[in-house]
C-alpha cells in the first residue's frame, strides 16, 4: 500500500481494510508501505530487503507467499512493480505489468476497448507543451466537456469545463499530476460502476452501483468524503443491469485482467459508454467495490481470500 502519487492517502486506507479483513488464523499478514525507495513494514518499521522482497524481524527472515496489491497509482497500478515480483516468482493479486500500464492510460485503454464494440465518449489527447487550438477543440467536442489527467485516478486534476475561457486553466490543473490530458466530451446520463474478477475459472461481475454525486460530478469529495449517494444494486431494469455486467466481463477478458477490476460507465438512454477501467480500485470503507461485495452476499474476508487463492492458483 502507499505509493508515490496523490492517491497515496486512499491507498493507505485500502491497505488497512485488506489487512483488517484477512483472517489472522489463516494468513500471517503484513502491511508494507511503499514510498519512493523506502519500503517498510508498518508495525515494526523494518525495511524490506529488495533483493528478495523479504523482512528481517527479530532474527527471523520473513519471505512472502503472495502480495495483495493495494497501491492506487504509481508504482503498482501503472505496472512498474509487477515485473519485479515476476522476476522473484512472487504471486500478486492484480494485473500484470503490461495490462496495468495499459489500463492506467485512459487514452490507450479506450483504443483497445473500442475493439470490443462498447461505446466511448469522443476525446482528444493533449500533451504538455503542445499548442492547443481551444476553439477547434470545443467545436469538435462541444460544451461542457471534461479535462482529466490521462494516467491518474481518484479525480485529482479533473475539471468540468463550461466555457471556452475555462479550457486553458483546466489543462493547467492537470500538469501537476500528469504530462498528458484527456479532453473528453460530456455525456448527459447516469453514472454506474461495476466490479469484476475471476474466481475458480469464471469471470464474475458483481452487482452494479449507481453513483449520484452531490457535487457537479464524481470528484474526490464525492468519492471519499461522503458527497455522493451510491445505490447498490442499482435501480436498473434487469436487462440493463445484465448488459452492464456483460460489458464488464467482456472488457476484463479483452484486456486480460487479473484480480478485482472496476469498470465505470455513463448510461445515455439504453447505451453504456465506458469512462475508464480501474485495475486496483479503492477498497476503503467508502469505496464502491466493498459495497458491491456485500450486496453480492459475501464478506470482505471471503472476497479478499478468494483473490489471494486465485493469485496462488495462477502461479
Which helix (H) or strand (E) covers residue 253, if one does?
helix 238-254
Higher pLDDT, 215 or 113: 113
Are 149 and 78 part of one and the same domain? no
pLDDT for position 224? 47
Count other Cβ atoms within 10 Å, centred on residue 162.
Answer: 14
Are 178 and 193 part of one and the same domain? no
Residue 112 lies in a domain: no
Are 193 and 309 part of one and the same domain? yes
Q: How confident is the prediction for the chain on average, in pLDDT? A: 93
**pLDDT above 70: residue 140:** yes
| pLDDT 10s digits, 83-109 | 999 999 999 999 999 999 999 999 999
Residue 309 lies in a domain: yes
Residue 88 domain boundaries: 8-99
Are 221 and 265 part of one and the same domain? yes
Cβ(168)–Cβ(187) under 8 Å? Answer: no
Evaluate if pTM is beyond 0.85. yes
**pLDDT above 70: residue 221:** no
Q: How confident is the model at residue 315 (pLDDT cuts 50, 70, 90)?
A: confident
Are 23 and 78 part of one and the same domain? yes
Are 236 and 255 part of one and the same domain? yes
pLDDT for position 217? 53
**pLDDT above 60: residue 254:** yes
Domain at 76, CATH number? 3.40.50.20
Q: What Å distances lie between residue 257 and 49, 206, 248, 260, CA to CA?
A: 29, 15, 11, 8
Q: How confident is the model at residue 222 (pLDDT cuts 50, 70, 90)?
A: very low
- Structurally, the chain folds into a number of domains equal to 3
Are 83 and 160 part of one and the same domain? no
Are 204 and 304 part of one and the same domain? yes
The neighbouring-strand residues paired with 55 are: 62
Residue 110 lies in a domain: no
Q: How confident is the model at residue 214 (pLDDT cuts 50, 70, 90)?
A: confident
**pLDDT above 60: residue 67:** yes
Contacts of 46 (CB under 8 A, 6+ apart): 40, 55, 56, 57
pLDDT for position 166? 95
Are 193 and 300 part of one and the same domain? yes
Asked whether the bond before 233 is cis by omega within 30 degrees of 0, the reply is yes
Are 179 and 221 part of one and the same domain? no
Domain at 281, CATH number? 3.30.470.20
Backbone angles phi, psi at 186, to 5 degrees: -75, 135
**pLDDT above 60: residue 219:** no
**pLDDT above 70: residue 178:** yes
- What percentage of the chain carries pLDDT values higher than 70? 95
Domain at 164, CATH number? 3.30.1490.20
pLDDT for position 90? 98
**pLDDT above 90: residue 62:** yes
| pLDDT 10s digits, 4-42 | 988 899 999 999 999 999 999 999 999 999 999 999 999
**Residue ending a domain, choose from 143, 164, 185:** 185
Amino acid at each position: 500500500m502507499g505509493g508515490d502519487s496523490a492517491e497515496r492517502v486512499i491507498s493507505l486506507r485500502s491497505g488497512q481494510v485488506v489487512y483488517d479483513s484477512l483472517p489472522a488464523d489463516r494468513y500471517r499478514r503484513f502491511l508494507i508501505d511503499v514510498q519512493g525507495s523506502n519500503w517498510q513494514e508498518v508495525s515494526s518499521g523494518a525495511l524490506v530487503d529488495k533483493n528478495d522482497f523479504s523482512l528481517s524481524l527479530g532474527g527471523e527472515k520473513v519471505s512472502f507467499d503472495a502480495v495483495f496489491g493495494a497501491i492506487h497509482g504509481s508504482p503498482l497500478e501503472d505496472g512498474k512493480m509487477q515485473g519485479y515480483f515476476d522476476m522473484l516468482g512472487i504471486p500478486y493479486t492484480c494485473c500484470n505489468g503490461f495490462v496495468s500500464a495499459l489500463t492506467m492510460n485512459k487514452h490507450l485503454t479506450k483504443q483497445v476497448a473500442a475493439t470490443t464494440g462498447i461505446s466511448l465518449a469522443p476525446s482528444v489527447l493533449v500533451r504538455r507543451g503542445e499548442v492547443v487550438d481551444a476553439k477547434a477543440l470545443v467545436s469538435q467536442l462541444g460544451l461542457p466537456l471534461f479535462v482529466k489527467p490521462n494516467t491518474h485516478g481518484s479525480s485529482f486534476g479533473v475539471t468540468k469545463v463550461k466555457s471556452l475561457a475555462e479550457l486553458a486553466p483546466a489543462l493547467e490543473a492537470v500538469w501537476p499530476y500528469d504530462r498528458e490530458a484527456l479532453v473528453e466530451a460530456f455525456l448527459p446520463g447516469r453514472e454506474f460502476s461495476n466490479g469484476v474478477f475471476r474466481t475458480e475459472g469464471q469471470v464474475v461481475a458483481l452487482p452494479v452501483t449507481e453513483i449520484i454525486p452531490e457535487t457537479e460530478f464524481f470528484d474526490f469529495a464525492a468519492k471519499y468524503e461522503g458527497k455522493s449517494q451510491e445505490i447498490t444494486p442499482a435501480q436498473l431494469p434487469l436487462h440493463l443491469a445484465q448488459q452492464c455486467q456483460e460489458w464488464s466481463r467482456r472488457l476484463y477478458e479483452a484486456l486480460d485482467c487479473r484480480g478485482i477490476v472496476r469498470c465505470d460507465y455513463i448510461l445515455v438512454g439504453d447505451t453504456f459508454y465506458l469512462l475508464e477501467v480501474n485495475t486496483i480500485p479503492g477498497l476503503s470503507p467508502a469505496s464502491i467495490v466493498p459495497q458491491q461485495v456485500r450486496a453480492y452476499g459475501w464478506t470482505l474476508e471471503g472476497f479478499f481470500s478468494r483473490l489471494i487463492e486465485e493469485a496462488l492458483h495462477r502461479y
